[in-house]
């Protein structure tokens, strides 16, 4: 896989991220584009897990907020779409809202 394909696949489910990680790890020349999008994709997945745990706790405490907060659960999907668009354009743009936080946190 080339760097652009690895970058795009890193946003498609956690299994896609794992496949992209091992493809990137197996290459002799490490692409900065692929490394950047691998860390951004992992950041979005970590954010999604934490968000879903928090939403689950809030909804179990206040069930009447379930309908409203269920729309907040769509945020990680929107972030993944922004990441895929940036990867397809071969740009190293951070994912909105959380992307700056995960820059440089992981060593790929």
Give residue 59's Cα distance to chain centre: 24
Report pLDDT for 89.
92
User: How many structural domains is the chain composed of?
Assistant: 1
* Residue 93 located in a structural domain: yes
Residue 81 lies in a domain: yes
Q: What is the mean pLDDT of each run of 10 residues along the chain (108 residues)?
A: 88 91 86 90 93 92 86 90 93 89 79
Owning domain of residue 35? 3-102
pTM of this structure: 0.85
Q: Is residue 107 part of a domain?
A: no
Q: Report yes or no on 108 lying in a domain.
A: no
pLDDT at residue 53 in the model: 94
What is residue 66's predicted lDDT score, i.e. its pLDDT?
A: 83
Question: Among all chains, which residue has been given the structure tokens 């299994």?
Answer: 15
Task: Give domain status of residue 32, yes or no.
Answer: yes
pLDDT at residue 79, as a whole number: 93
Helix axes 13-26, 32-61, angle to 10 degrees: 160
């Amino acid at each position: 896989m080339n760097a652009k394909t690895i970058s795009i696949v890193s946003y498609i489910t956690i299994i896609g991220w794992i496949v992209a990680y091992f493809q990137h790890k197996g290459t002799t020349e490490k692409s900065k584009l692929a490394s950047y999008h691998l860390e951004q994709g992992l950041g979005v997945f970590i954010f999604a897990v934490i968000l879903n745990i928090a939403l689950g706790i809030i909804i179990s405490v206040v069930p009447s907020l379930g309908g409203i907060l269920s729309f907040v659960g769509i945020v990680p999907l929107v972030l993944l779409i922004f990441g895929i668009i940036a990867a397809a354009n071969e740009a190293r743009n951070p994912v909105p809202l959380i992307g700056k936080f995960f820059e440089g946190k992981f060593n790929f």
